[in-house]
Structure 1
């Protein structure tokens, strides 16, 4: 095997190993947790730590990343152009990511780690409750705060963004479906 071919094979293996493939069926949370066993454990740890509903946090992540760290194409380019970090499962500003790491004491956190992304969601959802009065179980408004930030949410600038209101409705519906699915899951 030529040196160039070997180098290409190693690089391909490395880069595909660094991204997370989406679950086979992201519309069913039981299937997601069966596919990604470590995610189930991480979700329960974050629920215990922050008191967030698993269904709400997972619905937000599903809307945001399709539960994958794969390249999101045009969306990634747009988020980079406006100063948002688009690595891994999260699309958040580098500033808010750093604030999370500082306040939560998670200096080695990585947006490409599902457990770290979910921990961020727990922290951020509690900030939304504290700073914007959004209940932890309010998937619709938690999603809007996540996408807009606290100040924009509090100023209600999102009301003119039909696309965002539609996405928030999708998150609310998915969270409700996830909640019902979790009640029927028999994972362990």
Structure 2
């Protein structure tokens, strides 16, 4: 038996398993504490974005849930031709945040995040914090108003200001669901925040 070859194969399988564990969605999407416990590093990334952009962690996480269900490589479903033939995707939205290519490029320029990728959670959550900050600057929406922030996120700040969502009852319904989820996440986070903060302290944070 060629043990060198077996070793290389075993190492490759380990890398595949690790990659799968890293990009797979959390097991429990309805509990923010369980999400942060399972996905090591996500809380630190969310907290960093919240501090940088004066954003709200539960609101940002509720938006990620709505946009991608925490799927790293999520894309909009293809349109159906004649009801069954897969056609083009309706947009170039991609990743955890479902950010459009043009908006993502603007974020990279504005935030100085030139190496950011839409399928990396830390970049995606920072993008959402940045976008929510724009909604505050342009439309005065507070960091915890998940309903209005999601409407800005979906329609753009200009569309929100013009009230384009008012003729879209389905979108208002979705925004209400995002707001409700953000509220649940916020209540849950209150019960585990101190533990998460302690677990994510760096060495210098103890002094």
Give the TM-score category using the shorter length: 0.7 to 0.9
Distance 1:139 1:34 in 2: 23
> Residue 171 in 1 paired to residue 178 in 2?
yes
Residue 159 of structure 1: aligned partner: 166
Q: What is the number of equivalent residue pairs in this alignment?
A: 174
TM-score, length basis structure 1: 0.84
Residue 48 of structure 2: aligned partner: 45
> Residue 118 in 1 paired to residue 125 in 2?
yes
Distance 2:103 2:118 in 1: 12
Distance 2:110 2:60 in 1: 20
Distance 2:40 2:137 in 1: 31
Structure with the larger RCO, 1 or 2 (CA within 8 Å, 6+ apart): 1
In the superposition, relative to structure 1, how do residues 69 and 19 fare at CA in structure 2: closer, same or farther (>3 Å)? farther
Alignment of 1:51-70 (within 5 A): 51-70=54-73
Per-residue deviation at 1:71?
4.2
Residue 85 of structure 2: aligned partner: none
Residue 113 of structure 2: aligned partner: 106
> Residue 145 in 1 paired to residue 152 in 2?
yes
Structure 1, unmatched stretches of 5+, are 1-5
Segments of 4+ moved more than 3 angstroms: 16-19
In the superposition, relative to structure 1, how do residues 106 and 70 fare at CA in structure 2: closer, same or farther (>3 Å)? closer
Per-residue deviation at 1:150?
1.4
Per-residue deviation at 1:38?
0.8
Q: Does the 8 A contact of 2:47 with 2:57 survive in 1?
A: yes
Structure 2, unmatched stretches of 5+, are 1-8, 80-87, 200-207
Per-residue deviation at 1:18?
9.8
Which structure: larger Rg?
Answer: 2
